[in-house]
Amino acid sequence: MGKVELPSGWKSVKLGEIAEYYDGTHQTPEYIESGVPFISVENIDNLKGSKKYISTADFDKYKIKPQKNDIFMTRIGELGLVNIVEDDEPLAYYVTLTLIRPKEISPHFLLFFISSNAFQRELNKRALLNAVPPKINLGDIGKMSVSVPPLSEQQAIAEILTAAEKLIAVKERFIAAKQKQKQWLMQNLLTGKRRLSGFSGEWEKVKLGEIATGFQYGLNASSKEYDGTNKYLRITDIDEESRSIIYNDLTSPNCKLSKEYLLSENDLLFARTGASVGKTYLYNLKDENVYFAGYLIKCNVINACPKYVFYVTLAEKYKKWVLIMSQRSGQPGINSEEYQLFTFPLPPLPEQQAIANVLTTADREIELLKKELEQHKQIKKYLMQKLLTGKIRVKGASE
């Protein structure tokens, strides 16, 4: 593989030429209730988030104390994760982290470059990946290559990528707020603590078996009977976050299937055993010829709004019920008879539909925001690939 040609005005240097680097203490310290925060690999995403503290006297023994614009990089465990120190507050660090102190380079440019594909590839080549846990020796970190543009271009690149990161952070906070809002809506609307405008009257308490019918176990077939002819749904094929089917993972039985195993619109599925017990999915497709199998139970909601009942199974009351009901001497599980006994408050049908519509709208807003977030992440990834290699130059900064 030939040497990568750098853009005009750029140079390739070793990290040790443009930064100092140190590892943290090799000794597990004595923790105290409050004092100087002590960070390790698990704190790399939030350097202010440590709940471990050491004494000032122990911190005074550190020869190299973090200061503003120092960079922490993980070197033991999950390699190459980075964060930058934002102030001069005392901060103690473990040997799993490397402190990198930029000398002749923009700290934020270096921060982004360490996360670049080129740096990460070289890091993995130099790392001892067969070690447990994986690590890179401190001396090898200084040998890492860094492509360095003129300072003005470094700063311009860092500003662009920082702006991209801030957009991502704003979108993530917005999603978190929307998710919290949805949780509030579920906690209040599904319990009747808050009523939607225009609705009144008493709610009734019902058992699932009173408003749903056709409780049935899914098909069980051996792996040799799967050939991909038909779509075949298992609880593990459902994405927990979006509640959508991961079709790429579906397989199908190569045997004659009874139509009783076909899913119909508004069938409600429950996982009946194992780690997924209690997990639910509302099938909302038409004419897809999808069979359900594995450790699943299906029922059809006939005397209530199916979407409303589905949201009930996402609420805290249901989760607590599952936790209690699934206890077994061995593997956790809930059978169809037990699912039918689940009791919950049920408003009149028009109010059920209105509540389901509100929660569906909240879900759609969150889904749209997540798509936008993914777009922002892809844009940042593209910018890093182009700006940190000089394939795209910042107008004016490189002149």
Residues 271 and 288 in one domain: yes
Residue 269's Cβ-count burial label (10 Å; 0-12, 13-18, 19+) is buried
In a domain, 42, yes or no: yes
pLDDT digits (tens, 9 = 90+) for 26-58: 999 999 999 999 999 999 999 999 999 999 999
Residues 247 and 342 in one domain: yes
Query: What average pLDDT does the segment 112-126 reach?
Result: 97
In a domain, 1, yes or no: no
Residues 291 and 187 in one domain: no
What's the helix, strand, coil split of the chain in %, to 5? 40, 20, 40
**Phi and psi dihedrals of 141, rounded to 5?**
-65, -40
Whole-number pLDDT of residue 235: 59
Q: What is the torsion angle, in degrees rounded to the nearest 10, for the CA atoms of residue 148, residue 169, residue 369 and residue 247?
A: 60
Query: What average pLDDT does the segment 168-180 reach?
Result: 97
Query: What average pLDDT does the segment 255-259 reach?
Result: 62
In a domain, 3, yes or no: no
User: Among the three residues 101, 122, 147, which one is the final residue of a domain in this structure?
Assistant: 147
Whole-number pLDDT of residue 233: 66
In a domain, 2, yes or no: no
* pLDDT-based confidence at residue 224 (cuts at 50, 70, 90): very low
- Who contacts 248 (Cβ-Cβ below 8 Å, separation ≥6)? none
Residues 352 and 330 in one domain: no
**What three-state secondary structure class fits 54?**
strand
In a domain, 5, yes or no: no
User: Residue 103 above 80 pLDDT?
Assistant: yes
Residues 355 and 329 in one domain: no
Residues 132 and 21 in one domain: yes
How many separate domains does the chain show? 3
Question: Average per-residue pLDDT in the chain?
Answer: 89
User: Residue 236 above 60 pLDDT?
Assistant: no
Range of the domain at 162: 149-201+348-399
**CATH number of domain containing 73:** 3.90.220.20
User: Residue 277 above 60 pLDDT?
Assistant: yes
Q: What is the torsion angle, in degrees rounded to the nearest 10, for the CA atoms of residue 94, residue 98, residue 99 and residue 100?
A: 180
In a domain, 7, yes or no: no
Residues 143 and 76 in one domain: yes
pLDDT digits (tens, 9 = 90+) for 293-337: 778 899 999 999 999 999 999 999 999 999 999 987 788 999 999
**CATH number of domain containing 183:** 1.10.287.1120
pTM, to two decimals: 0.83
Residues 37 and 126 in one domain: yes
Whole-number pLDDT of residue 207: 97
Residues 182 and 98 in one domain: no
Residues 186 and 139 in one domain: no
Positive or negative torsion for Cα 122, 128, 129, 134:
negative
Residues 155 and 227 in one domain: no
Tracing tokens 């593209």 back to the chain, one arrives at 382
What are the structure tokens assigned to 141, written together? 């970190």
User: Residue 250 above 60 pLDDT?
Assistant: no
Residues 78 and 117 in one domain: yes
* 3-state secondary structure labels for all residues of 139-165: HHHCCCEEEECCHHHHHHHHHHHHHHH
pLDDT digits (tens, 9 = 90+) for 385-396: 999 999 999 977
Beta bridge partners of 20: 101
Among 76, 74, 75, 72, residue whose Cα is nearest residue 86: 72
